[in-house]
Structure 1
């Protein structure tokens, strides 16, 4: 009959030596890994040597972008800060959004999205533009690829609201054969339109629906007024729609007596 062999007891000092050896091995391994990592991060082989720029570029050139942004990139393939790189590309004129990712072994791939200008923003002397999402940006106006953009103005942060109102009002004017050239929102919430025949129309305040109703009433009844003076809407010089029961208007060439000034007419519902 076989008896169980007694279990050998490892002395404490041997255990301590084994633990020490393991710790030293792990420490050496970690040091080696750190050394390799240090070498990888600093070897010239991993310097950023290639930047691929993609996207529908209308106002930017990939070569110029690379030349302008590359000096601002710090580090190599492993250490470059992608957020900083993204910010550097988004500082370029017309760039709305940039996505940057690494491409092994020493490259970056950048996907750009440009602003699409929908209107001028701010005073005539400014260089502000607003895109179709209502975002305001600055750009060289000489690079515009569209003509006849309207001019929108309003308090800070109101660009999207003004753009939405413009989109609502512009189609309403088509029956008059005049275009909406500009729209302004003042600090008190009052609206003012500028037409492409240089007429200025005060719309007053209120909700978008209330303003729209006043403009629709104006468009519906204006031909009746202008026809009395053998004029069309093109002769409109100014109008004030802020009345509850009608509006006041002024027509070019309509005078009284020897006065050279146009006479305001009053239209009611």
Structure 2
């Protein structure tokens, strides 16, 4: 072998490669543990509304210290994503001395129960808010999958339809039979049923200034589950029928 020039050349090349790899590895270890390139700032990509600066600072102190190479951006990202009001978190290094934190905050849409809220994506999360939000009530057992997003979409459509009346939804109820019921902020309940609910709500909006608004204080509920009309119950009285056609 020692008389084989080609084999010796291959051996030297392999040794050179090993030496270079060892030097690179040693240089990497030195950079990671060196006092050079320290993190000088952790900056937010956008202003925050619901997540406090103290919460971000606590995560930064735990995971984003040392130099820029040693900062555990993955652990910081996971910790930030676990905060109640954070929908999505992204943490990245910006050479030579900055870590940027980008947080997408949840937008609350409704109360789900005493402890949970529903955000604009239909996701449930545990947080407290002083904002006035409608209450979602669902009797469907599959509440953690399709129902909250469905109720968010329906709430948006119902609120838009009610805009001409100046009324707002205080509670949105979804029954086990997939029927929709609205409780309005003036105390009136509107029953829409399980089909053609958008069209039925349009009839209610038409009937509101024509028939219902003047006697609103006396109305308990309005049942819109009729083809060309509705029934209403006055507080303390039996239900009576009324016309609700737009023709």
Q: Which residue of 2 aligns with 1:41?
A: 32
2:100 to 102, 105, 109: 109
Q: Is the 8 A contact 1:223 1:232 kept in 2?
A: no
Counting only pairs closer than 5 Å after superposition, residues 1-269 of structure 1 correspond to structure 2 as 12-45=3-36, 48=39, 50-72=41-63, 77-78=68-69, 80-117=71-108, 119-123=109-113, 125-131=114-120, 133-142=121-130, 147-154=131-138, 155-156=143-144, 157-174=146-163, 176-206=165-195, 210-221=196-207, 226=212, 231-244=214-227, 246-252=229-235, 261-268=236-243
Q: 1:250 to 1:175 in 2, by over 3 A?
A: farther
Aligned CA RMSD, in angstroms, stands at 3.0
Q: Is the 8 A contact 2:85 2:127 kept in 1?
A: yes
Q: Where does structure 1 differ by over 4 angstroms across 4 or more consecutive aligned residues? A: 46-49, 72-76, 174-177, 222-227
Counterpart secondary structure, 2:57? helix
If the length of structure 2 is used for normalisation, what is the TM-score? 0.79
Rounded to whole Å, the distance in 2 between the matches of 1:141 and 1:232 is: 34
Rounded to whole Å, the distance in 1 between the matches of 2:25 and 2:166 is: 74
Rounded to whole Å, the distance in 1 between the matches of 2:176 and 2:67 is: 50
Kindly tell me the number of residue pairs found equivalent between the two proteins: 238
Rounded to whole Å, the distance in 2 between the matches of 1:95 and 1:115 is: 6
Rounded to whole Å, the distance in 2 between the matches of 1:75 and 1:153 is: 49
CA shift for structure 1 position 226: 4.7
Question: How far does the alpha carbon of each residue in 1:150-184 deviate from its partner, in whole angstroms, 9 at most, with x for none?
Answer: 22344333233222222222243355553322212
| Unpaired segments ≥5 residues, structure 1 | 1-10, 253-260
Bigger radius of gyration? 1
Q: 1:14 to 1:174 in 2, by over 3 A?
A: closer
Q: Which residue of 2 aligns with 1:8?
A: none
